[in-house]
Every structure is written in structure tokens, then in C-alpha cells.
Amino acid sequence: MDMTWFDEMESRIPKGEVRTRFAPSPTGYMHVGNLRTALYTWLIARNQGGRFLLRIEDTDQGRLVEGAAEMIYRTMAECGLTHDEGPDVGGPVGPYIQSERRGTYGQYAKLLVERGGAYYCFCKKSEEAEETEEKGVHKHHCSCPHLSAQEAEAKIDAGEPYVIRQKIPAEGTTTFHDASFGDITVENAELDEQILLKSDGLPTYNFANVIDDHLMGITHVVRGSEYLSSAPKYNLLYESFGWEIPTYIHCSPVMRDQHNKMSKRHGDPSYEDLKAQGYLTEAILNYVALLGWSPRGVDSQREFFTLEELTRAFDLSGISKSPAIFDLEKLKYFNANYLRAMAPKDFYQAALPYLQSAISSPSIDLSLVAPLVQPRCDTFLDIAPQVDFFDALPTYSNELYVHKKMKTTLENSLEALQLTRPILAELTDWTYESIHTALVELAQKLELKNGRIMWPVRTALSGKAVTPGGAVEFCQILGKEETLRRIDLGIAQLSAS
């Protein structure tokens, strides 16, 4: 076989740098396990001063989902996982979409046959049967490996359909090294002679991965531990071609509980779902980073990391072999800390869509509402139930006026509202300070604790047992006219009881 084309392909491969890749299939949402793989892969490259590639693996045409590729780009951008090479930015070893590399795989499959690492198989199977076999449902046995080169060529010339299969040594063992699991040895007799090139000319996932990783100069491969069983076959492919084997990093699965892996089919959240549930991207990334990785040294007890800090701290030795359990309450803990740590103006901008969905009244200044909820929400979805009373006073029970600690009863609450109403009505300067001074001075004049006045006003304005903030903030935000209207309603409701 003329090696000129293959030599040219080899000459394009970048050398002397760490190169990693995230290679998702555009078949749906970015689930948590995928996001973790993307993050770890990105961190390895950035920690080592290398390059990070994005490759779209779309050879399984039957499972492609419209818009999924765009979702991958959007998620990566939102998370700050910028790629140095990829379909949208180009690079020296493109194309970076597998379906656009179709001719490449056929050439390498034939080269592998010539080198004794594969063979033509003419066993008649439906396309569906090929797909079933690729997923490891059953092993293949046939006499095709024993055909001479002349016999195989005659069948091809006669138009017989074929696949190209990997040839596995009949005896001995294959050992591969993984950064997390160490050396793993398997008996060659246990390995299936997998299809590398299907009858339609498209490669299988396993073969395309090896070819692309080599031609793109990938030095570190991060993937789930479910691919550990495929690693020996990858090694044999690399050895048959005479190529250097990359560093493998197999990550244990992200679990819903002790016994079940996370799955979209079972309602487990994707990245998009978590965003829709009111979680911050920064909190999601921080938590996902710790699902199977632990910092070492001075950072060993640390929980909170920015992406930049993760880049400096990330080390392969911290990756665990044990499965990680995804705990939504733990993520909520992370998210709450991130929300509270945000600068007030940043929180307001991020919370604005949620505030607007809860409060439609144009008279309400949402920038005054945001500081009330910032220390009181774990996710953005906690905002609306806390502030919807600003938009419309809910129906409420008079029992809310009764508070043992504040020493309020139905009777003295009515009295407090009746005394407060004219004081507030006379105010010409409707500011927090003037409202606060007026209510405190009223309590002092009556020789009462502030709560005896504030609690009834707070209840009349909100109609809720639990609120973010108190009477003075509510008066300021609602405005004078609405405040007096709600106090009048409270007086009428208490008077009727």
C-alpha cells in the first residue's frame, strides 16, 4: 500500500504539548456525567498549558437530535470551557466533525487489514444486527479471518458486502494502564473481534475514536469507567498501527443513589434542567468538579473553587475510583453560598427574570426587592414564592396577626393598625428612614416594643407568615398609596372578626 497519504496525515499531528478533547454525540442534553467529562478534560489541558479540542461524534446518525449540537456549543460557552480547536473555530487537524471524516476511516481500516490487525468479514448481517453487535450484545465467531488476501479481494471485486473487524490474538493477554485504576490485564480470549468499519462505510464508535485521537494528537483521554472493557481493544489497535498510546483516565460513574446511575430516562437532571431549576453555572461546575475528584495538599479541605482556581488545583491523582453520588441538597448548599457571595448588582441582574415573573406591577422597584431575597434563597426558584405578595395581596387568616414573641393579639393588632394609619398618611417624605422613624417613634410614644407595631403592619402588607424583610421595607417598596390601602383592608378584616 502506498504510504504517501498516511505520511502526510502523520506530518499534520501536533507534537510536544498536552492535547485533550471532549467528544460528545449530539443526541440530547448535556447530562451531569458528560459535563464532568468535559470539565476534567478541559482542566487537564489548562493545568498543563496544553490545548483543548471539541470534536462532534455524529457517526450514529439514527440517534442524532436536531439542535443538540448547538446546545453543546451553548453549554460549553456558558460554563467557560472554551476550546482551542473545533468545528466552529477550526484548527490544524480538522475537520472536527466525524461525519466529515468518513473517507479517512476507510483508509485506515484497510491499512490495518494489511498490517494484520483486522480482516474483511463477509458474514451476512442486517444493519440492525451490526448495531446490536457494536453495543456488545453478543460476540462474533466466523471463519473469515482465515481467508487469504486473494480470496478476500475476489469477494470484494464480486461486490459482496463486508465489514472490517478487529483481529484479536488468539492467546495471551493485553495490559493497559489507567491513571486512576492502574494496570489492568485481560485475557485476549475474552475480547470480541469488534466491527471497525460497518457495511455502509461508516466507522463504529470505538474505531473512529482511536483514529481521530491519534490524528488529532490527543495525549490524554478522559471517559467513563464503562469504557474500561474497551480499553484493551483500543490498545491493540494502537499497537497494530505502531502508534503511541495516550494516557487513559477512566472516571467512575455519577450515581443517583448507591445502586443506580444517573439517567435522563429516570428524570435525573441535565445541565439545562439544573439551570431551569434556578442553579448558577458557577455552582454547578464547582459541585460537578468534586463528583469524583478531591483536591490535594493545601486545598484538601476546601469546597469552593472558581474555574480559575480549579485550573490551578486540578491534579490527576485526585480522581477517585469510587462512584460519586449526585446529591441535589448538596448542590443546593453550594448554590446558596454562591448566591449570597454575589455582589448585590450582579445578584439583581441574575435574579431580574425571576423577580419579573413574580411581580408584574410597574410601580414596584425590583432593585429594592432583590436585597431582601438574596440572603434568603437557595436557588432562583425560591424568589417568586417569597415576593409575589408585592404584586397582589393574598387572602390570609387573621391568625397571622397573633404572634407570641411579639406579644400581638387580634385586638392589639387592630389597635396598632388604627394608630399607624394616620401617622403614615401624614408622611410627605416616603423614604425608608422617614417610615422607620415614624413607626419607631409611635412605639416609643405608646411605650411599646417595636414588634407590637411592626408585626401587624408587616402582616397587613404581606398577608404571609414568613417574609423576606419587614414592615419598613414593605412600606417603602409598595409606596404610600398601596401601603395605606392594604392597612385599610387589614383594619376592615380585623374589625369584622
Angstrom distance (rounded) from CA 372 to CA 355: 12
Which listed residue (139, 264, 345, 445) is catalytic?
A: 264
394-398: long-range contacts, CB 8 A cutoff, minimum separation 24: 394/463, 394/464, 395/463, 396/459, 396/463, 396/464, 398/493, 398/494, 398/497
C-alpha distances (whole Å) from 250 to each of 182, 292, 317 are 10, 11, 12
Pairing of strands 182-187, 173-178: antiparallel
Compute the Cα dihedral for 451, 452, 453, 455 and give only its sign: positive
Angstrom distance (rounded) from CA 492 to CA 460: 11
- Residue 394: other Cβ atoms inside 10 A: 10
Q: 7 with 207: CB under 8 angstroms? A: no
Q: What angle do CA 482, 487, 493 make, to 5 degrees?
A: 125
Letter for the amino acid at 137? Answer: V
Under DSSP, is residue 241 helix (H, G, I), strand (E, B) or coil?
helix
381-385: long-range contacts, CB 8 A cutoff, minimum separation 24: 381/277, 381/278, 381/354, 382/278, 383/278, 383/351, 383/354, 383/355, 383/358, 384/354, 384/357, 384/358
Letter for the amino acid at 327? Answer: D
Letter for the amino acid at 12? Answer: R
Whether 264 is catalytic is yes
Q: Which residues of 229-259 are buried (b: 16+ CB within 10 A; e: fewer)?
A: ebbbbbbbbbebbebebbbbbbbbbbbbeee
Under DSSP, is residue 338 helix (H, G, I), strand (E, B) or coil?
helix
What residues act catalytically?
264
